[in-house]
Structure formats: structure tokens, C-alpha cells
Amino acid sequence: MAKAQGRRTPLQAFLYWGAVVGVWGLIAVVGFLAVFATNLPDTSKMFDVTRQPSISYLDRSGALVGVRGSQFSPPVDIDQLPPYVPAAFVAIEDKRFYHHFGFDPIGMMRMIVVDIRARRAVQGASTITQQLARNLFLTPDRTIRRKAQELVLAIWLETKFSKKQILALYLNRVFFGEGAYGIEAASQRYFNKPASKLTVGEAALLAGLMKGPSRYSPVSESERAARRANLVLAAMVDSGAITEQQRQEAISQPVRVSATLESQKAQYFVDWVDQQVRALVGQPQEDLVVETTIDLPTQLNAEYALHQGVEHAADRGVQQAALVAVDAAGRIRAYVGGADYAQSQYDRASLAQRQAGSSFKPFVYLTAMEQGHTPDQMVVDEPITIGNWQPRNYTNKYLGPMTLETAFAQSINTVAAKLGSDIGTQNVAATAHRLGITSDIQTSPSMALGAVEVTPLEMAQAYDSFANGGLSAKAYGIERIRTASGKVLFDHSLGQQPRSAVIGQPALSYMIQLMREVLASGTGVKAKIPGYDLAGKTGTTSDYRDAWFVGYTGGFTAAVWTGRDDNTPMKRVTGGSVPAEIWRQFMAMSLPRLGVQTIPGANPVPAGPENIDQILSGEPAPQPSQAGAAAQGEPPPG
């Protein structure tokens, strides 16, 4: 009987063991908090944004050209978003978000089972609240301590904020790839629209990025991103966020993703100057503003002309092109390094060294003019042999006696080769370097016909001396670098030496005469634009691997190259065809707003090149100064 009295009833046993478990559970929780809740990060600055500084690039008028670095936008009000936008993230990232208290026990158990079966970490079970805690306070380290602290902070967030506030914080702070933090920056980055205008398909695409912004990037991994977005849409249907009809409509309407921001053009140029900014001022410690030389309307004309030219000549084997335009002082006004930045970021404007072909001949003829030759000098187009080399004309024909002017306009190879041999290829190389060619120049006889590798940037820079009255013109793209608060870190105008004359008279006027004739009656007639004083030179390499047109008017020069990245031949594309047509379209669109004048230097007393700088700047042109006259090799008046 006593034994029976000492036996606990089932209820008593349940209460007893429940109390024991509860006590030990409390001890475990206290111990857990004692171990992992110590040294937690400071939560008082949770609304402060910590990020890498950004660099904003402006054109010469102050318009935004591009941004490098992290991009943040003002936080969006979650009530201003279509309901399916936050619902997409809940459906795919944390379907029990509205029912847990910071962590999901069911999801955690499922994760453990799956990982045990796979014998490796396969699934994650972080809730939206845990992800927010990690983004706000913790490092991405995969340690037990960090995961435990993440859990503690998630519970704290749930006690401090409502579900709506947590979801809003999450959407405004999460990383979406491509430098975009927050739903607003991501919407602008990928779709060129505010987050309040997102469609169902776009919302699904952004939600799909949470699994891995680079792995599921709609820019570089479009197919994988689309498959992930379809999973998100299915999850949205399961959660009741959208109907099956809405899912079908989203699938039937492909999402258009922008490779670059709509407001961001000149991306090849921004890449080019971005390296220079970091070399000039080091790694930025605060947001920077870079005032560049680029002229956005002119840049847009260049991008359009180049894209159209390559597209229309694709059946002729033209795969790529580049264009660089500079003004009289060397300021880069347009810079395009390829036909499509989204498809290829390789910058052909400054990195691709390609054979110049006959576009190199102006350096040969300028050297000859400086040694006493004249445009009306008679020469003979006939077969010649220089050492073991026998240069041939493009037409394989020989025209006999002609003037140097005609030989240049018709790009006669035999005359140029003999001229280069007579005046010395070493002298020609020196002339090219003096004008702005920075690449190494081989001095074998074939150099006279352009067996020299150069970049479009170099060619624009070198030809600019023909356009500006004979002055040196070092191409540059950065005017000023300042902090967002206004402190100037670099100013191009400070410490600059006066530009020297690199072409004197009468050689300059002779060369302008020769290059005008190229467009008037020679190989560059397709580049003519009525009403403008234009000059230039075509260039075509052997087997049609490269084709060039480099030309200018008063104080404005543009170089165009076309070819293929694999250096295979095009289909009989010459410098006087596709490149000349691209150049003409670009110049015809750009010249009316630039207010250029006739080419200075064609007369014994040319107009001062400083006038051209003023015209292109939109400022009144002063009268020629004594310094301007002296700079061109003319004695100052008086």
C-alpha cells in the first residue's frame, strides 16, 4: 500500500519532468546567452549605412555619365510597393516569415535532415530576420559563434520591430549584385525604373538574386536567372501572393534587363578614367566626384554611329569598332571602345593595338615636307624594290607620273614606300612620336605603309596637331577630382606647361592641303560633309584585317577603327568604306552644335588655335594673342 502511495500519477510525472526539462532548458538558454550574447555588435547604429565610397563621373556640363562603387538609393516605403514585391521575397526566402519569432524551427529541422542525408551542407535555414541581422551587424563568416549571434540578434529584432518594419529594413539593405544595395537601387540598376513600378516578373527576378547575386545575375547569367525567377513565381502562387494566371502572364512577357543604367553612357570611357582616378588620389575614403572632358551629346552621337555602322556592315565581316574624338586641346569629347559594352567590356580605344595601314602615311609625308618636299613635286608610281621588299598598290596597277598630292590622296603605296626610304624611317618614327604616337614603332621599310601597331586613342591624339594649328595635344579625360563636400583633390589645369608647337610652317599647310584632297577626290570621299572644312586619311591593312579613317576639322579630330577581335580578315572593307561612313555620320551629327571653324594653319598666318578651344567651350573667342602667334612658329607682332 505504501509503495502504491509513493507512485506518481501520470499528470504528476508530466508536471515533474516538465519542470525538470524547463529548469534545464532555462539553464541552457542562460548559458547560451552568456556564451554567445557577449561581445555582440553595437546595435545603436543599425540605421547607419556602411559602404565603400562611390565615384560619380560627370560630363563637361555636369550631367551624370556613370557611377563606380556601391550604389545606394533612398529607402522605399514598403506601402508604396506593389504587394507582390515584398511577397516575392517572403515566398522564396522565408514562407513562414509571419509565423515565427526570428528563427524557423521547422526549416532548421528540415535543413539538418537534408544535410545529414547528403553528408554535407546543402540547405540553409536563415529566415529573413536572420539575414537582416547578418547584413546589419555581422560578418559573413560561417562559424558556430556567428550563427548563434545571428539567432540572438534575430530574436532581438523581432522584439524591437514589427514584421512590416523588419521586411522593409531587409528590402532596403540587402545586396542585389552589380553594386546595388536595396530594392530601389536594384530596380534602377536592372530595369531603369523605380521599385514602385516593378512588374511581377521583375519582382521575381530580383527575389531570385537572394540565393546568389553573382550566380543568378540577370546580366551575366540570364538563363540561370530566368530559371530561378520561374521557381520564385511558382512559390508566389503556392503562397497565394499571385494567381496562376498572373504567373502565366509573367512567364509570357520576358523581362528586359538593362546591362547599364539608362543614365550611364560612355562606359568604356568611365572604365578608362576610373583607373586613372585611383592612380591619382589612391583608394577613395569618401564619395568622389570626377569632372570629365566627355561631352554627353557628342558621346551619344558616337555610340549611335558606331553601333549602326557595325550592325549594317556585319555581313561584310565587321565585328567591332572604336572611336575617339578630341578637341583642339586634347580634351576627349567622345570615347567608344566597342560596338556593345554589354557584350564585351574590352576597350579597343586604348588597349587594342592594330596595324595603322595607310592612316600612318601622314607621318611619312610630314617628315618629307619638313625636309623640303612639296605637294606639287612630281613623282612616279612604278614598281620598286627596297632591299628584299617589293611594295604593291591596292589596285595592283601603276599610274606613272603624278604629284605628291595625288599620290597621297590616292594612297599610292609605291610612292610612300620610296619616300619613307629616302627620308629615313627613323626620322618618320621620330615624327610620329613627336605628334603623340606612344607605341613602339619598328623602322623597317614596311613602316611607311603602316606596318605599325597603334591604338585609336593614339591616332586621334597625333592627328589633333594637324587640326589645332600645329600644337602638341596630349589626350586626357579628367578635368577635376573633388570630394562630395567640395574639396579639390586634383585639377588638370594646375601645373600645366604651355603647349609646344610640334608642326611648323610651311609643312603644316602642306599637310592640310594633302589631307583635304583625300576627302575631295581621293580615298576618303565618303567622309565628305558639305559646308565643312574637313581633312583626313584612310587606312587599310593587308587582307582587310583593319580599316581606319582618321579625320578632322578646325579644332576637332576623330579616329575610327573597324575590324575583328580575332584579327581575321573582313570582306574587302577598306578605310574609305565602313570607317569613313561611321566617321561621316558621327561628324554630321556632332559638328552643328560644336561651332567649329576652318582648319587653322592652311595659310602662312593661321588662326590661333586657342580660338578653337574657346569656340568648343561655348565661350567668346578672343583676338589672337602674341603668345598664340609665337606658339605656331610665327614671330610675335611688333
Q: Which of 133, 221, 147 shows the shortest CA–CA distance to 177?
A: 221
Q: pLDDT for 541-591, tens place per residue?
A: 988 999 999 999 999 999 999 999 999 999 999 999 999 999 999 999 999
Cis peptide before 105 (omega within 30 of 0): no
154-158, 374-378, 401-405, 432-436, range with the lowest pLDDT: 154-158
> What's the confidence (pLDDT) of residue 558?
98
Q: Are 322 and 352 in contact (CB under 8 A)?
A: yes
pLDDT band at 395 (very low <50, low <70, confident <90, very high): confident
The helix or strand, by DSSP H or E, that contains position 47, with its residue range, turns out to be: none
Q: Are 239 and 95 in contact (CB under 8 A)?
A: yes
Euclidean distance between CA atoms 58 and 214, whole angstroms:
28
Q: Are 517 and 409 in contact (CB under 8 A)?
A: yes
Mean pLDDT across 177-181: 78
Q: pLDDT for 57-104, tens place per residue?
A: 999 999 888 888 766 667 788 899 999 999 999 999 888 888 887 666
Euclidean distance between CA atoms 75 and 46, whole angstroms:
14
Q: Residues 6 or more apart from 431 whose CB is under 8 A from it? A: 363, 366, 367, 370
3-state SS, residue 321: strand
Amino acid at 275: Q
Q: Are 584 and 487 in contact (CB under 8 A)?
A: no
Q: Are 613 and 329 in contact (CB under 8 A)?
A: yes
> What's the confidence (pLDDT) of residue 624?
29
Q: Which residues are catalytic?
A: 93, 358
Total residues belonging to the chain: 638
pLDDT band at 175 (very low <50, low <70, confident <90, very high): confident
Torsion angles phi and psi, residue 68, rounded to 5: -120, 145
Q: Are 176 and 202 in contact (CB under 8 A)?
A: no
Residue whose entry in the numeric block shows the C-alpha cell 536563415: 126
Torsion angles phi and psi, residue 107, rounded to 5: -65, -35
> What's the confidence (pLDDT) of residue 47?
52
**pLDDT above 90 coverage of the chain, percent:** 56
Q: Which of 152, 110, 108, 99 shows the shortest CA–CA distance to 130?
A: 152
Q: Residues 6 or more apart from 281 whose CB is under 8 A from it? A: 288, 481, 489, 490
Q: pLDDT for 189-243, tens place per residue?
A: 888 888 999 999 999 999 999 888 888 888 778 889 999 999 999 999 999 999 9
Q: Which of 440, 439, 379 shows the shortest CA–CA distance to 406?
A: 379
Q: Which of 371, 350, 357 shows the shortest CA–CA distance to 428?
A: 371
DSSP 8-state class, residue 67:
E
Q: pLDDT for 285-332, tens place per residue?
A: 788 999 999 999 999 999 999 999 999 999 999 999 999 999 999 999
Q: pLDDT for 358-389, tens place per residue?
A: 999 999 999 999 999 999 999 999 999 999 99
Instruction: For the chain, give the mean pLDDT.
Output: 83
176-185, 406-415, 565-574, 600-609, range with the lowest pLDDT: 600-609
Could you please report the per-residue DSSP string of 367-427? HHHHTT--TT-EEEE----BTTB----TTS---EEEEHHHHHHTT-HHHHHHHHHHH-HHH
284 Ramachandran zone, left/alpha/beta (phi>0; psi -120 to 50): beta
The helix or strand, by DSSP H or E, that contains position 101, with its residue range, turns out to be: none
Residue bearing the bigger pLDDT, 273 or 25:
273
Buried b (16+ CB within 10 A) or exposed e, 441-464: bebebbbbbbbbbbbbbbbbbbbb
Axis crossing angle, helix 163-173 with helix 183-191, rounded to the nearest 10: 40
Number of Cβ within 10 Å of residue 79's Cβ equals 9
> What's the confidence (pLDDT) of residue 618?
36
End-to-end distance of the chain based on CA atoms, in angstroms? 138
> What's the confidence (pLDDT) of residue 444?
95
pTM recorded for the entire structure:
0.69
Euclidean distance between CA atoms 247 and 256, whole angstroms:
17
Residue whose entry in the numeric block shows the C-alpha cell 530601389: 184
Domains detected in the chain: 70-252 (1.10.3810.10), 299-487+499-631 (3.40.710.10)
Euclidean distance between CA atoms 75 and 184, whole angstroms:
7
Q: Which of 363, 344, 392 shows the shortest CA–CA distance to 566?
A: 344
Amino acid at 354: R
Q: Which of 174, 157, 211, 155 shows the shortest CA–CA distance to 86?
A: 174
pLDDT band at 638 (very low <50, low <70, confident <90, very high): very low
Could you tell me which residues are beta bridge partners of residue 335? 324
pLDDT band at 614 (very low <50, low <70, confident <90, very high): very low
Q: Are strands 354-355 and 488-491 parallel, antiparallel or unpaired?
A: unpaired
> What's the confidence (pLDDT) of residue 97?
86
